[in-house]
């Protein structure tokens, strides 16, 4: 394998993602697992940047790190009551989890094997046009308009539901 | 667009920026570090070296050097801002502030910094050591990464991201993780309470913040910071704050939400001294505490700089073409003015309660911000281009709106006393 800067960066991010993902599932302390998930998500964002999908990378960080991970940590801290929290994995969970992971692995390997040519678009030195414009066109003016609107309505319903659950009951 | 330029045609041209900085077009070249090596560095090297010059490695080194400049220069800002804050606070309280170290106390912060370096770095024995050590670095790194996308001048920008403002939002949302990490690993109830408050506050105020940024993005039709600045190049009335009545409202929502984002009074519940000691960094001491402190002031400068870039013309001057020295001095003056406004607010207003804080965000700011987006969309349909007519109409609406708001606010404040907490 040719050792270039691009390879170095790619394998750096890949190593970061895989190693921290391994930590997420092996570490006993749930807060440590959450923080190593942060590293994993950052690594994936880095891989997106490497593929010149800058918008996707920033979205990844803003949604997963800034939103979902904070929610996870909030949930842990609000519910556990003590700072020490250990996870116990039972045999049934292990089996079920193993089946799901194996299925996912098979799926991914099939996709990788059936993709005809792995060509990195940036190898020939061309710089891709910004992705934001194409994403905007596709979502608001193209084939993905309907799914986009459906998702918007779904999120709106979730928002109203959350407001309804958390509001104070006022009795006259 | 050219209407305003025509008005100022008689003024002498002070624009020297084109020759002042090396001519690397940052807006078009994604990889300017490589450009720099290919066009500037290699022609000046001896031929034997130039032939084998590792361009890729050099590119990375140049990028590291640039990051080093920022990491080296930006901590000098807090050095100055902390002193400014203490002096401003002193003036507001009719004191003189620090006067002993150096002339007029100007070296006080330096002395404090040296003291902090030599202090003991205490780690709570019951806490989570690894996360405790890591947390300051996360906050520090994220605060500094924001500066990479802020255009300080015409060619003074580390990276011309295509998604500039979106990147800034993404990176600054990671600061919450550092805050939670610090609060949780300290194993102290003050820290944990402070970090939970801080996280709730930052996550909530990110919504009006993002929505008010969206109004700007809708009008400019770009996320690129340099393009946002470039669209405000026709003098003070082309600044986005005056572009439409809705961006005028958006500016205030953005600025107030930014104050909440950086946890300053009147939104300083996460570090309320009288309630929870110092919030999430209660247990930190020595240099790690200094890192939080530097990050806080760097953040303050960063959000002001973003507000200036988005709404107040960035590095463009108040008159078209008056961007002296690439616009850097004008940019810094505008930003420091906003920083001073933040200090002014801090030493004038009392702290809000938690319910007031959340009410302000969810019941007022977010609906107003949504209304703004709708209004901006309609405004963009009516005036697709920024013309003289649209500017006059916009300024007229802003003027009338301000008068109406002032009258209504005056009447309601005269009638009702403040409601007591239930």
Give the pLDDT confidence of B340-351 residue by residue, as tens digits: 998 888 888 888
A 10 A CB-CB count for B263 gives: 24
For residue B56, which residues of chain A lie inside 8 Å, CB to CB? 4-5
Instruction: Taking each helix axis as running N to C, give the angle between helix B245-261 and helix B328-346, from 0 to 180 degrees, rounded to the nearest 10.
Output: 70
Q: How far is A119 from chain B (nearest CA, A)?
A: 21
pLDDT number for residue A123: 54
- Average pLDDT of chain B is 78
Chains A, B: CB contacts within 8 A come to: 78
The per-residue pLDDT for A55 is 85
- Residue A33: the pLDDT is 83
Is a pLDDT exceeding 70 seen at residue B89? yes
Tell me if B177 and A54 make a contact (CB, 8 A cut-off): no
Quick one: average pLDDT of B134-152?
A: 85
> What would the DSSP string read from start to end of B140-176?
HHHHHHGGGG---SSS--S---TTHHHHHHHHHHHHH
Distance of alpha carbon B167 from alpha carbon A54, whole angstroms: 9
Q: Where are the alpha helices (DSSP H) in chain A?
A: 5-26, 30-50, 54-60, 70-80, 91-114, 131-141, 145-166
With contacts defined as CB-CB under 8 Å, which chain A residues touch B170? 57-59, 61-62, 65-66
Model ipTM over 0.85: no
Q: In Å, how far are A53, B123, B153, B249, B362 from B365, measured between CA atoms?
A: 32, 40, 31, 10, 6
Highest mean pLDDT among B11-20, B150-159, B212-221: B212-221
Other Cβ atoms less than 10 A from the Cβ of A50: the count is 17
Q: Give the residue with greater pLDDT, A29 vs B38.
A: A29
Q: List the Cα angle A51/A57/A63 in 5-degree steps.
A: 155
**Residue written as token pair 């949504």:** B370
Residues facing A29 on adjacent strands? A86
Question: Which of B30, B169, B181 lies closest to A127 in CB terms?
Answer: B30
As a whole-number percent, the residues of chain B with pLDDT over 90 amount to 5
Contact B199 A130 (CB under 8 A): no
pTM given for the model: 0.81
Report the chain A residue with the minimal C-alpha distance to residue B135.
Answer: A35
Where b means 16+ CB within 10 Å and e means fewer, B350-364 reads: ebbeeeebeebbeee
* Best B176, B182, B363 residue to mutate vs chain A (most A CBs within 10 Å): B176
CA angle B263, B266, B270 (to 5 degrees): 40
Structure tokens at A50: 């490497």
Residues in CB range of B82: below 8 A, 6 or more apart: B109, B112, B293, B297
Least confident residue range of A42-46, B309-313, B325-329: B325-329
Q: How far apart are CA B254 and CA B252, in angstroms?
A: 5
CA distance A106 to chain B (A): 33
Q: What is the DSSP string of B380-398?
A: HHH-SS--HHHHHHHHHHH
Judge: B199–A74 Cβ closer than 8 Å, yes or no.
yes
Record: contact B131-A62, CB cut-off 8 A: no
Conformation bin of residue B263: beta by default, left when phi > 0, alpha when psi is -120 to 50:
left
- Grouping H, G, I as helix, E, B as strand and the rest as coil, residue A29 is strand
The pLDDT of residue A99 is 92
Tell me which chain A residues have a C-beta less than 8 angstroms from the C-beta of B60.
5
Which carries the bigger pLDDT value, residue B14 or residue A57?
Answer: A57
User: CA of A125: which chain B residue's CA is closest?
Assistant: B31
**Dist CA B374 CA B261 (whole Å):** 24
Write out chain B residues lying below 8 Å of A128, CB-based.
none
DSSP for A89-136, please give it: --HHHHHHHHHHHHHHHHHHHHHHHH------TTTTSPPPPPHHHHHH
For residue A170, the model assigns a pLDDT of 66
**Rounded Cα distance, B298 and B143, in Å:** 7
d(CA B259, CA B396): 29
Low-confidence ranges of chain A (pLDDT < 50): none
User: Does residue A152 have a cis peptide bond before it, meaning omega lies within 30 degrees of 0?
Assistant: no
Mutate to test the interface with A, among B37, B126, B166, B186 (most CBs of A within 10 A): B166
Q: What is the mean pLDDT of residues B361-371?
A: 88
Would the CB atoms of A66 and B173 count as touching at under 8 Å? Answer: yes
Nearest to B199 among A61, A62, A70 (CB): A70
Please compute, for residue B220, the number of CA atoms within 13 A of its CA located in the half-sphere on the CB side: 28
Name every chain A residue with its beta carbon within 8 A of the beta carbon of B196: 74, 77-78
Given an 8 Å threshold on Cβ–Cβ distance, is B166 in contact with A58? yes
Top-confidence residue, B71 or B138: B138
Average pLDDT estimate for B257-274 = 78
């Amino acid at each position: 394998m040719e050792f270039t800067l691009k390879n170095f960066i790619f394998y750096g991010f890949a190593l970061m993602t895989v190693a921290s993902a391994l930590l997420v599932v092996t570490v006993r302390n749930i807060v440590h697992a959450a923080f190593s998930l942060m590293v994993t998500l950052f690594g994936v964002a880095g891989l997106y940047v490497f593929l010149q999908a800058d918008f996707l990378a920033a979205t990844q960080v803003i949604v997963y790190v800034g939103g979902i991970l904070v929610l996870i940590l909030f949930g842990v801290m609000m519910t556990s009551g003590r700072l020490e929290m250990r996870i116990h994995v039972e045999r049934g969970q292990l089996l079920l989890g193993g089946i799901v992971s194996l299925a996912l692995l098979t799926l991914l390997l099939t996709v990788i094997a059936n993709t005809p040519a792995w060509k990195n678009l940036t190898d020939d030195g061309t710089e891709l046009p910004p992705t934001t414009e194409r994403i905007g066109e596709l979502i608001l003016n193209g084939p993905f308009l309907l799914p986009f609107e459906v998702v918007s309505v779904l999120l709106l319903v979730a928002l109203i539901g959350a407001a309804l659950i958390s509001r104070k009951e006022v009795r006259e | 667009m050219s209407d305003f330029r025509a008005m100022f045609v008689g003024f002498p041209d002070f624009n020297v920026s084109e020759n002042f900085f090396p001519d690397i077009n940052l807006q078009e070249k994604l990889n300017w570090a490589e450009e720099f090596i290919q066009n500037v560095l290699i022609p000046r090297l001896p031929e034997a070296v130039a032939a084998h010059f590792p361009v890729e490695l050099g590119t990375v080194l140049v990028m590291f050097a640039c990051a080093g400049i920022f990491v080296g220069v930006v901590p000098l800002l807090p050095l100055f801002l902390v002193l400014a804050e203490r002096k401003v606070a002193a003036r507001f309280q009719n004191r003189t502030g620090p006067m002993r170290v150096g002339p007029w106390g100007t070296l006080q912060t330096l002395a404090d910094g040296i003291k902090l370096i030599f202090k003991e770095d205490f780690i709570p024995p019951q806490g989570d050591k690894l996360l405790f050590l890591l947390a300051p670095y996360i906050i520090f790194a994220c605060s500094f990464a924001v500066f990479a996308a802020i255009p300080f001048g015409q060619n003074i920008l580390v990276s011309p991201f295509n998604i500039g403002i979106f990147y800034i939002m993404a990176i600054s949302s990671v600061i919450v993780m550092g805050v939670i990490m610090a609060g949780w690993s300290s194993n102290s109830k003050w820290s944990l309470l402070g970090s939970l408050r801080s996280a709730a506050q930052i996550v909530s105020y990110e919504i009006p913040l993002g929505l008010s940024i969206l109004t700007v993005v809708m009008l400019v039709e770009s996320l690129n910071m340099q393009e946002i600045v470039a669209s405000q190049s026709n003098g003070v009335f082309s600044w986005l704050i005056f572009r439409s009545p809705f961006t005028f409202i958006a500016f205030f929502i953005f600025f107030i939400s930014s104050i909440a984002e950086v946890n300053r009074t009147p939104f300083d519940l996460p570090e309320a001294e009288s309630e929870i000691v110092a919030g999430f960094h209660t247990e930190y001491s020595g240099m790690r505490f200094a890192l939080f402190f530097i990050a806080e002031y760097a953040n303050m400068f960063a959000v002001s700089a973003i507000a200036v870039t988005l709404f107040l013309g960035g590095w463009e001057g108040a008159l078209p073409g008056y961007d002296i020295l690439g616009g850097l001095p004008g940019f810094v003056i505008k930003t420091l003015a906003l920083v001073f406004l933040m200090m002014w607010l801090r030493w004038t207003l009392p702290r809000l309660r938690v319910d007031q804080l959340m009410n302000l965000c969810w019941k007022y700011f977010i609906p107003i911000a949504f209304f703004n987006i709708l209004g901006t969309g309609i405004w963009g349909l009516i005036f697709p281009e920024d013309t003289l007519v649209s500017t006059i109409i916009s300024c007229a609406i802003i003027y009338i709106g301000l008068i109406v708001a002032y009258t209504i606010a005056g009447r309601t404040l005269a009638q009702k006393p403040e409601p007591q907490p239930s």
